[in-house]
Structure formats: structure tokens, C-alpha cells
Structure 1
Amino acid sequence: MTRITESESAYDRHRLGQWLTGEARAEGVGRRDMVRLLAAAGIVSAVPVALSAPTAGAASAGSAARPVRAAGAGIVKPLPPELFTLHGTNAETRFEALAGTGLTTPVSHFFVRNHTTTPRIDAASWKLRIWGDGLTGGARQFTLAELRSLPPVTRTAFVECAGNARNYFKTQQNQPVAGTPWGTGAIGAAHWRGARLSDVLRRAGLSTRAVDVMPRGLDDEYVTSNGTNYGRVRRPMPISKALDDVLLAYEMNGAPLPPDHGFPVRLLAPSWVGISSIKWLGDIEVSTVPLYSPWNTDFYRLYGDAYPSEGSAPLTRQTLKSAFELPWNARLSAHTRHRLTGRAWSADGAVTRVEVSTDGGASWRRARLHDTGRRGSWTRWSIPWTPRKPGPAELLSRATDSTGRTQPETTVPNTQGYLFDAVLRHAVTVEA
């Protein structure tokens, strides 16, 4: 089952049609890629120049090709091994390290997803440029002090990489996928404080003709090991999302944003895949025509046998997950009462129920929820267990949210390993 709604697919189809008639822009996206996407939308026959579309595997190759760097290179904060697993330029939180940390994730424990390296930016000279033909006047610049003068909003929300739990496609479903082999730790929740993007856009002179905005980061241009330069990270979103719940965040857990998490200002797009929450904001284009970048054409679409041959519509919302705050292959004593803890989260609704199985899925018990569920955040849960029989065991947790959706037994595979939401089979060993 895909996580792309009919309205989102229809919106993407409309945007592609506008590109065909010259009413959309695709910055940094080759014509061949656009033809591939038009084919996915079923309107490729209208393209005047026939070009063969690359295979789904070719489409995902760009995201798999990463510059070769030492693990953790370019990240500013300490990365102690008891808190993080390093994946190139990225640092994954060890999920068991979240036990006892509270509802929000301390900065010291928060995962880092970098395309290149963390930039060091001077807040005093920093300015955010709002520009484009979707404004009624010319470009407008905002200083950090000006953003802070606007009515502040605080949201408690998670940021989660689209590829979080990707490695379980391989280890649990025996389906190899491309990309960083994340476990469950490419997620963190925080209290974010900032100005509404809608307030800033209106002060900049938002036109009623605007349809898309595209935020862009100030980190280095992203160049793959094969020499492809995709430019600075940028990803458009429809104006409807921009005017809904998106923040220009300048604080995280009551303090200024740390360098690795977007200082001085980042975008926060609650419930959407992490790539939408651009860090180190430098500019935002406001456009009267649909916009494309490599981050919503080649990257962050679903490819595979269950999807259109040329890929799905761009990913927007995250999915539903739960996980134990327990090391993988943990050793637990038999005939001892253990308190199993974990977290569950959903982008579509509040978590209303978590069930746990300590016998590999043969039977289930309801866990105790410790937080009031809310969409776009997570809920801590716990359950007691006294194992009786020594030997290997599998612990399972499955969450249900207020939309009525429950985690499935398996996730439909896609070549880039996005949106894994199946029940995890957490291996432990019970010792006599």
C-alpha cells in the first residue's frame, strides 16, 4: 500500500502537465527525468521529443552514490558511540539511548542527517531572502531579529528521515534496498519555536497566484562520488502546506538551534518526511508555477514492482511506527520481571494503542501509554515481562493511531527503502 493520497497524485499530475506546456520550472532536473515522470503520470505521449526513460534502478542510483568521507565527518557536536551509530555524513541515534530521556530528544542524542557538512553561519549577518514571481512586490529579506519579532509559535513534533528503518527491508524482509542503512534511530522529537511561515510570506507580499514555495539550505552543494552536482539541498512544497503548519524555527528545546540542527533558522514541516524540513535556510522562492528539484524527482519517490514503472508522486507524510528502547540482541534474565519500554508515532493521527508480543506474535497484550497522543509527535509506552524460558526470543510491538490504521506485518518494498512501517521483530536472548 502506498502512502501517497489521491489528491497528492492528482496534484503532481497537474504540475507535470503544466511543465509540459511551459508553465512549470524544473531547476537542476534533466529533461529525461521529466519525461520519466510524465510517463508515470500517463501523459508522456504529448512530449514532442521521444526519449527512453531510465529504469527504476537508474532513477535511484543518484541517491545511492555518496561522496566518500570518514564516518561522522562534518558534524560539529560530539558523537559518543554509546549514543550514535555513524553512517558517513550521518549519525543515527541508538534507540535504546532514548530510554529515560523524556518526551523530547535532547540535542546530545538527536540524530543528524547531512548531505554534506554542517556549515558555520554568523547569525548577526544572516538574512533570509524571500523572492519570486509569487510575491506582489520585489524580493524581501528578513533578519533573525525580524523573525523573532513576529508572533512566536511552539510545536512539539518529530523530524524523521524518509529512510528511517530502511535496513529492515533487508534484515527482516530479505529485500535489498539502496541508501543509508538506518535502523530506527533516524528520528527525534523536540519543542520547536519560531515564526509561522505563513506570517513571513504574507509580510513579504504573498500573491494569490502563488502555488509553490521552495526553501533552499546554505550547506555545500551536493556532489555525488560520480561527479553529479545537484546543487544546494532544496525541495518545493505546495502553498497549501506552507500556509498550514510550517515554522521557521530558531529554537530547539528552549535554546537556539545548534549548528547540526539548522542554526540559525530551519524549516519545520510537521509530519512530512525529513527532507522537507530544510536546515540552514538561506532563501525561499515563491512561485506562480509548479517547481521541481532533484529532491522531488529522482529522490523521495517510490520505485518498485508495486508502484508505477516510473515512480510514485513525491513523498509527503511520514508513516506509523513503534520500537523498543532496547539494544538489539539484548540479554535478559529469565524469571526476572523486566519493564519493557518504547515509543510509537504517527504522521496521520494520535497513537491510541500499542500492543506487545513477547512470544514472536503468537499472543498480544496492551501496553500502557505514558503520553497524550497527538499527530506528528510520539507516545512513550511500557509493559512488564517476566520471561520463563531461556533461549532466543522475539519481541514485537504494533501501534494503532486515531485514523484506525495499525502497523502491518510487512511493508511493500520500494527500491530506495522509504517509509518502512512494518512490525519489527526485535531479537533478544533470555538467559537462565
Structure 2
Amino acid sequence: MPLDLSDESQYDRARLRQWARGRARSAGVDRRDLLRLFAAGAAAGTLGLGAAGTAAAAGTTEAAAAAGPTGTADLPGVVKPLPPELFTIRGTNAETKFAALRGTGQLTPLDRFFVRNHTATPRLDKDAWRLKVWGDALSRGPVEFSYDRLRALPAVERTLFIECAGNGRSFYTTQQGQTVAGTAWTLGAIGVAHWRGARLSDVLRRAGVTREAVDVLPRGLDDEVVTNGVNLGRVRRPLPVSKALDDVILAYEMNGEPLPADHGGPVRVVVPDWIGISSIKWVGDIEVSGQPLYTPWNTDLYRLFGPDQPPQGSAPLTRQTLKSAFELELGATVPVHRPQLLTGRSWSGAAPVHQVEVSTDGGARWRRARLHDVPRRGSWVRWSVPWTPRTPGATALLARATDATGRTQPETAAHNTQGYLFDGVVRHPVTVV
């Protein structure tokens, strides 16, 4: 049976094998530099941007501490305001505070959607923006699309979450006592939006994609990324042509508004079901290749390393895992004997979440939460459970989800040194007074 390369795991495994055997072309980075970067990362148990992320995590400051006189956090490279009641600053990134989502509905409002930047947000004029589609597997290329020409194509709309592969990373350390590298996210590196845009398949067909096409490589217009002395170029991650012709969107609207700069405006790629790095922001060109393509963002920077992983690292990362989060500040104080309505959200990269259980006594007893959304793939479900605290003191709230595959969040997550794929049940501390 042939591999289904629209499945992210199979695709990345195949490209890694091909690249190791010299059968996949390194797109934009010298093969010797990639080998040096890969060898250094494997020896250290972390790769490239993971190591850079350690420094960012070590320098993390709370948004309140960075707030300027206007009450917004000072984060050069991000355009939108970052008030401390909505965001925590983490390096070049801004994490959504889950408590700020309470009562906001299923879609994440634009003013509190998380920001994940490798460098800084570019300011691009939509009227001057152009998308160049080129490569050796086109019959009519290169072809250029203006913003208006792209919007003239038939539009598609989808409600989908985008989540950073390292979301939940900090809990490896705070709950499991394990050292990891990378941005110290709690659970706020995710957002659900209603996207509107053109089908990538329509763009590729107008450019004359041929049967010889193998990989499709979108590239961003943000600054080049340099790590460990290697210039990795602009952020880019190839897709198999089968996925590109299936459900990928070139989005120009988000929640009914023009796509904001911090979220990839004027146009970004949205790749359903794949990890966030696949959804390239500020897309400026797309290469359509008749050869397998390989970049650091295919596999090098998104693999698992550590004592419980193979010596040369795991197979490439697959889609995100199960998670649950309370819409409540970590360490919140709640009054004794007063009824509370605990609310939260759960999601899975593999299948819709169909059950959520909550414990208000540190895991001794569990009860089912009420779901407020019809479970759908690619989105989260909101839930609630009533609680009247009876005893003063410190306790932990826990929530665990089960998705349609039958998988339930485990008590602990499998350790890896880059802190990817945290899926353990989070112990949410509160104090009853």
C-alpha cells in the first residue's frame, strides 16, 4: 500500500529518509550546514531553535512587569497591543492567558489570539503584496498573484485551531521536574479562528501544476532566521502535493476581518490538522517541485530527543495531542462555601473531543463536565462544571479529555528535551479561603 503523504507523520518520515540518503533536495540551506546543525542538535539532545528558545525562556518576563505607561506590554516586533490581563510575554512571543477567554465564545477574539514569531512581525502593504508561484513542476509558471487577484478566486471558510508544537512545554518542568528547551508556554499557545481565503489547490491549478509535482513549499516574508551560526533563511515548511491540493487555505480574513499583521497578514497559509509551523505566515512565494524537498522545519527542528527516545532522535513530530485548560488564573483564590462555575476548553489534534472529566480535589474523584459545543475536528469544545468549595486551603483542579479515538489524557507526558507534545493532565493550583 502506498504511503499517504497527506498524513504529516508519514510525510515527514519519508522526507527524512530520503534526505539522509541524498534523495531529497535541501531547499535553501547548504547540505553541509544542515548536517552540522543536525549533528550538533542530536549530540546536545536539542536542535537549533530549541536551543535558541532556551535563552528566550530564561529571559521570560510577565507582561505586567513589562507593561509601559499605557498598560500594554513592550514587545518589539509585535504590532498589536499586549495588555497584561490578556497576555504573558515569552521571548519574541505573546501567550494568551486562558482566564481572558472566559465568556468570549468559541472563536478566539483577535485582540487575545496568541503570537508566535521566529523574528518580528513584518509590516506589509496588501496593495504591494505579491505571491509568486514558481518551480520545475509547473506548466505555466512562474505565476504572480496580487491581493485582489487572490480574493477574486472562489472563497472557502473553515473554523480551525492553530497551535504551537511546544504548547504546554513548561509543565514538563513544573509538574514532572524535567528539563526542556524552548519557549516556556503554559497552555495559551493556541487559538481558534474562522478563516476565509482561497484554496491553495485553485492557485496551483492556475499556475499549471503538473503530475510531476511532488512537494509544495510556501515561504514567509519575515526576516531570515539564524541559529547556531547557520542562516536557515526565511521560515518555510514543505507540504506533499496531495495535501496542498486537498484542504490547505491561503487565508486573507480571520474572524471576519482582514488578516492582522501579527497573524500573517495580508495572506497566510492555514494547514488543517498539521502542527502550527506548517501554517506559514506572511506567505510571499510558493515553490512547486518535482523533487522531494527538505528544510530544517520539515524534521530537524520538530523531532523528539531525550533518554527515552532513540539515540538519533524520534521520528518527526506528528500532529498535536490532547489538552484541557481551565479559564481561570493559575493560583487563583476562590471563596469557601460559595458556588462557582468552573469553565474551560479541551481539544485534540487527532479527533473531536467527546468527553471531559473534572476533579476539584487533586484527582481523588472525577465527574463529567457539560459540553457547550458540538465536537468537531479542528476545533475545541467549551465545557463547565459547578463547584462549591467546602474546605479552606490549597488544592488542585484537574481536567482530562477523551477524544473520538478513545484516547484520554494521561497523568504524565512522555519526556523529550525539546518539550514537545505535552498531553499530561495539568494540575491547576487554587486556594480556597
Query: TM-score under structure 1 normalisation?
Result: 0.90
Q: Encode CA deviations 1:295-323: one digit per residue, 9 max, x unaligned.
A: 12321111122322222333241111111
Structure 1: how far apart are the matches of 2:405 and 2:20? 37
From 149, 171, 175, the equivalent of 2:178 is: 175
Between the aligned residues of both structures, percent identity stands at 64
From 76, 82, 87, the equivalent of 1:73 is: 76
SS in 2 for 1:147: helix
SS in 1 for 2:15: helix
SS in 1 for 2:277: helix
- State how many pairs are aligned: 412
Q: Encode CA deviations 1:125-152: one digit per residue, 9 max, x unaligned.
A: 1111111112123211111111111111
CA shift for structure 1 position 213: 1.1
Structure 1: how far apart are the matches of 2:118 and 2:92? 7
From 406, 411, 416, the equivalent of 2:418 is: 416
* 1:236 maps onto 2:244 in alignment: no
From 216, 219, 226, the equivalent of 1:216 is: 219
What is residue 47 of structure 1 aligned with on the other side? none
CA shift for structure 1 position 266: 0.2
Contact 2:12 2:298 in 1 (8 A): no
Structure 1: how far apart are the matches of 2:16 and 2:342? 48
From 284, 294, 300, the equivalent of 1:282 is: 284
> Cα distance 1:19–1:327, how it changes in 2: closer, same or farther (>3 A)?
closer
* 1:63 maps onto 2:50 in alignment: yes
What is residue 49 of structure 1 aligned with on the other side? none
Structure 1: how far apart are the matches of 2:182 and 2:293? 25
Structure 2: how far apart are the matches of 1:102 and 1:124? 33
SS in 1 for 2:232: coil
Structure 2: how far apart are the matches of 1:31 and 1:396? 47
What is residue 99 of structure 2 aligned with on the other side? 96
Q: Encode CA deviations 1:65-116: one digit per residue, 9 max, x unaligned.
A: 2687996211000010110000121100111100011110111001000111
RMSD: 2.3
Q: How does 1:114-153 map to 2 (within 5 A)?
A: 114-153=117-156
> Cα distance 1:53–1:426, how it changes in 2: closer, same or farther (>3 A)?
closer
SS in 1 for 2:281: coil
CA shift for structure 1 position 324: 0.3
Structure 2: how far apart are the matches of 1:422 and 1:123? 42
What is residue 48 of structure 1 aligned with on the other side? none
Unaligned runs of at least 5 residues, structure 1: 38-51
What is residue 361 of structure 1 aligned with on the other side? 363
Q: Encode CA deviations 1:234-277: one digit per residue, 9 max, x unaligned.
A: 11122222122210000000010011011110000122111111
What is residue 70 of structure 2 aligned with on the other side? none
> Cα distance 1:369–1:88, how it changes in 2: closer, same or farther (>3 A)?
same
CA shift for structure 1 position 17: 4.6
CA shift for structure 1 position 212: 1.1
What is residue 63 of structure 2 aligned with on the other side? none
Residue identity opposite 1:126 in structure 2: W
> Cα distance 1:106–1:299, how it changes in 2: closer, same or farther (>3 A)?
same
Contact 1:332 1:429 in 2 (8 A): yes
CA shift for structure 1 position 389: 0.5
Contact 1:130 1:283 in 2 (8 A): yes
Structure 2: how far apart are the matches of 1:6 and 1:18? 17
Residue identity opposite 2:365 in structure 1: S
What is residue 293 of structure 2 aligned with on the other side? 291
What is residue 338 of structure 1 aligned with on the other side? 340
Stretch deviating more after TM superposition (264-273 or 235-244): 235-244
Unaligned runs of at least 5 residues, structure 2: 60-65, 67-73
Residue identity opposite 2:24 in structure 1: A
Structure 2: how far apart are the matches of 1:158 and 1:298? 24
Contact 1:36 1:310 in 2 (8 A): no
Structure 1: how far apart are the matches of 2:40 and 2:264? 36
What is residue 372 of structure 2 aligned with on the other side? 370
Structure 2: how far apart are the matches of 1:355 and 1:374? 18
What is residue 43 of structure 1 aligned with on the other side? none
* 1:203 maps onto 2:190 in alignment: no
Q: How does 1:253-332 map to 2 (within 5 A)?
A: 253-332=255-334
Q: Encode CA deviations 1:307-351: one digit per residue, 9 max, x unaligned.
A: 222223332411111110000011011111000000011111111
Contact 2:15 2:294 in 1 (8 A): no
Structure 2: how far apart are the matches of 1:371 and 1:408? 23
> Cα distance 1:408–1:358, how it changes in 2: closer, same or farther (>3 A)?
same
> Cα distance 1:325–1:53, how it changes in 2: closer, same or farther (>3 A)?
closer
Contact 1:60 1:178 in 2 (8 A): no
> Cα distance 1:149–1:236, how it changes in 2: closer, same or farther (>3 A)?
same
Query: TM-score under structure 2 normalisation?
Result: 0.90
Structure 2: how far apart are the matches of 1:188 and 1:54? 30
Contact 1:129 1:282 in 2 (8 A): yes
Structure 2: how far apart are the matches of 1:13 and 1:412? 20
Contact 2:218 2:283 in 1 (8 A): yes
SS in 2 for 1:424: coil
What is residue 248 of structure 1 aligned with on the other side? 250
